[in-house]
Structures are given as structure tokens and as C-alpha cells.
Amino acid sequence: MTTTTTTRQRTSEPRGVVVARRVGAPLAGLAGLLAIGWAIGFLVEPDGPARLLAGIYGFVGLEGEAQAIRERGIPSLTSKLVLGVVALTVGVGAVWAVFIGANAAVERLGARWRAQVLPWVFIGPALLLLGAFLVFPMASTIGTSLSEGEGAAGNFGFVFSDASMLIALRNNVLWLLLATGGSVALGLVIAMLVDRVKREALAKTFIFLPMAISMVGAAVIWRFVYAWAPAGQPQIGGANAIWTAFGNDPVAWLQVPTLNTFALILIMVWLQTGFAMVILSAAIKGLPSEVIEAARIDGARESQVFFRIVVPMIRGSIITVATTIAIVVLKVFDIVFVTTGGRFESDVVANRMFTEFFRFRNFGHAAALAVVLFIAVVPIMVINVRNLRRQGIGS
């Protein structure tokens, strides 16, 4: 008897549990919603942590401590810790509860509706957040670019006619072509070459290493490499140390117009080649060796194998790498900001956007520049998505 009861309990849950689930889940959802609403109010309230702590003290009967906190506030570290605990609890616990509740609610709907509604319940919050933090700012930026400052014509007129802006746009084109092209080409060649090196992993590690350095860090390093000292003085910059060793006068790499843009592009190539190499190397290794062997047996030269067989076969990977790097390059800011600050005709669109916004408080110009950058990125995104689709990833 007892055995059968336990078995039955295991297979079909007892009434109590079932009731608890049917009632509890929606309740949990409701509680989660309330908790989230409360937490938002709590987060925007500057002395929220202090009031919460005072409330807790009061609740457990330590009225004296509660009173002290109400009057004097709490140290900022304590306040941050309380904030952190609340954020974690609500962020994990309450959101979990809301999903359980929503799930239970949807399950009560008819089977026809359930399939329709359920996906939205789960992606809904993500969509909401994307809307709040991506779509809304984008719309608001476009609005700013059309209305603030000198209006649409003035703001965009500035972008495409101001003498210094034309230089910045020219530089962005140089960056896009040379930094992207340079990284991909170098990455591809290196990927091809290391494929035959004995200590391949070691070689790849060294080339990949710059990827681990932040843009700002790289820019600071290269600032030293490009440092200039008057002729006859010790050259602390690596570039000038080598250059002057051959009897040349030191060159102010970062201060001579146009030369400095190439010097900066080199930093980006140094940073991104590793990324290109790793992806392309994986693609090369994925090639069926029979094809290449067949080509060699047919008498193809190495360059023919490379250009006629390898490159076409890993075309998809090359496009992915190129578009990814192109997007990074279009947005380039840190390198220019740290090294030249856009002076000496080395400005780029993103740096100018920063200058217009934070130095000049020219919000209309800054928004127009942001919109131009956004529009420039769109075609690259389209190429990327199409490429992914072709590879069967997006479908």
C-alpha cells in the first residue's frame, strides 16, 4: 500500500503541489512585477538605500539606528552595496518570478493562442529594452540632427562642406580602405603562411596578442613609438630611433599632415590583423585537402592555389572578417583621440562628433555626424547579414 502511494506521488504530483503551482506561479509573477516597479522607484531615488536600511532597522526593532540613518544618511559605500544587493535580487529573482508567472498565464490560454503568444512573452522584455536603449536613442539622435542648432540643412551642410569636416571625411575613407584592406590582406597572408610553420600556435599567439590590448592602450603605446625629439637628442621613440640610425633627421610622425593618418592606420592594422588571421586560418583549415592536392597534382603554382582555390573557397569568411573590421574602423575614435586629438589634419568623423558634443556643445552638429556614421555603417551591415544568410546561418 505504502509503496504504491509513494509511486503514485512520484509520477503524478499530489493535489497540494498542483494547487501551489497553479496559484503560486501567477502570484509569483505578480510579486515579481511589483518588485520590479518598486526597484525602479528605488533606483531613481537618491536616498533610496538609506531609507530602505532605515526601514529594515525599524522593522526589526532597532528604532535608534533607524532614526540615526534617517537623520545622517549612510556612507556612500554602504549605499552602493545596498543598491547592488537590491539590483541583484530584483534583477535575478523578480525577473525569474515574472517569467514563471507569465508562462503560467499563457498556459491557461487555448492551445491555438498559446503558440502565438508564448514567444512574445519571452522575447518581449528583450525587445522592450532594445527599444528603450537602441531604437529610441537612435530616433532621438536623428531628431536632434534635424532640429537642434542650425537645423537639418545647417547641420548636414556643415558635415559635407566645412573644410575641416571634408578632411575628416577624407580620412575616414582612407581608414576604411587601408585599415580594413591592410588587416584582411595581412591576416590572410599570415594565416596562409603560419599554416606551414612548425610552431604554428606560438606564431599565431604573438600575432593575435595585440587583440588583447584596448584601443586606448594601443594608442598610448604607439604614442611612445612615434615620439619625436630634436635632431641630436636621444630618440626615445622606437620609430625615430630606427629612422635616425640610418642617418635621417627625426620625423614627427604624428604631427605631419596625412603622414600621421597613415601612422595611425598602422596602429589599427596592428590591432586587427590578429583577429583576421585567426578567423581566416580556421577557414583555411576547414578546406578539404583533396581540392588543394588535386590542384597541385594538376600543376598549379602556389600563387594559383592561393588566388584561384583558397581565396574563392573562403570568400564567405573573408567578407565576414572584412565587414566586422570595417565597422570597427568606421567608428574609430580612441586611437585618434589619444594620439593627436584630431589636430594636424588627422581628424575622423567619430572624434569630431565627440569634439562637437563635449567641447563645443554643438549638439546639432554632433547628432548629424552620428547619423552620417550610422548611414555609412548600414550598407556594411547589409553585406554582412546577406553573407551570413548565404552561409546558412541567418536562415
**What's the closest the beta carbon of residue 386 comes to other proteins, in angstroms?**
37
- The position carrying cell 552602493 is 80
Long-range CB contacts (< 8 A, 24+ apart) of 29-33? 29/97, 29/98, 29/99, 29/100, 29/101, 29/102, 29/104, 29/105, 30/101, 31/94, 31/97, 32/93, 32/94, 32/95, 32/96, 32/97, 32/98, 32/99, 32/100, 32/101, 33/94, 33/98, 33/101
181 near other proteins, rule: CB under 8 A: no
Considering only 273, 323, 362, 384, the residue that binds other proteins (CB under 8 A) is 362
342 near other proteins, rule: CB under 8 A: yes
**What's the closest the beta carbon of residue 143 comes to other proteins, in angstroms?**
15
**What's the closest the beta carbon of residue 164 comes to other proteins, in angstroms?**
7
**What's the closest the beta carbon of residue 137 comes to other proteins, in angstroms?**
13
Which residues in 199-238 contact other proteins (CB under 8 A)? 228-230
Total number of residues that touch other proteins (CB under 8 A): 32
Considering only 4, 245, 359, 395, the residue that binds other proteins (CB under 8 A) is 359
In one-letter notation, the amino acid at residue 394 is: G
Q: How many distinct helices (H) and strands (E) make up the chain?
A: 22, 0
254 near other proteins, rule: CB under 8 A: yes
**What's the closest the beta carbon of residue 141 comes to other proteins, in angstroms?**
13
319: left (phi over 0), alpha (psi -120 to 50) or beta: alpha
**What's the closest the beta carbon of residue 212 comes to other proteins, in angstroms?**
23
SS3 string of 229-253?
CCCCCCCCCHHHHHHHHCCCCCCCC
Stretch of 137-145, 202-210, 254-262, 287-295 lying at the interface with other proteins (CB under 8 A): 254-262
What is the grid cell recorded at 1?
500500500
Q: Using the 8-state DSSP alphabet, how is residue 211 labeled? A: G
Considering only 243, 357, 374, 383, the residue that binds other proteins (CB under 8 A) is 357
Give the x/- contact pattern for other proteins in 65-104, rule: CB under 8 A. Answer: ------xxx--x----------------------------
Closer by beta carbon to other proteins, 171 or else 340: 340
302 near other proteins, rule: CB under 8 A: no
Which residues in 256-275 contact other proteins (CB under 8 A)? 256-257
Residues 208, 270: contact at Cβ < 8 Å? no
Count the Cβ atoms, other than its own, within 10 Å of residue 306: 16
Q: What residues contact residue 382 under an 8 Å CB cut-off, 6+ apart?
A: none
Considering only 78, 255, 258, 304, the residue that binds other proteins (CB under 8 A) is 255
**What's the closest the beta carbon of residue 60 comes to other proteins, in angstroms?**
24
Tell me which residues touch other proteins (CB under 8 A): 71-73, 76, 162-164, 228-230, 252, 254-257, 337-338, 340-345, 351, 355-362
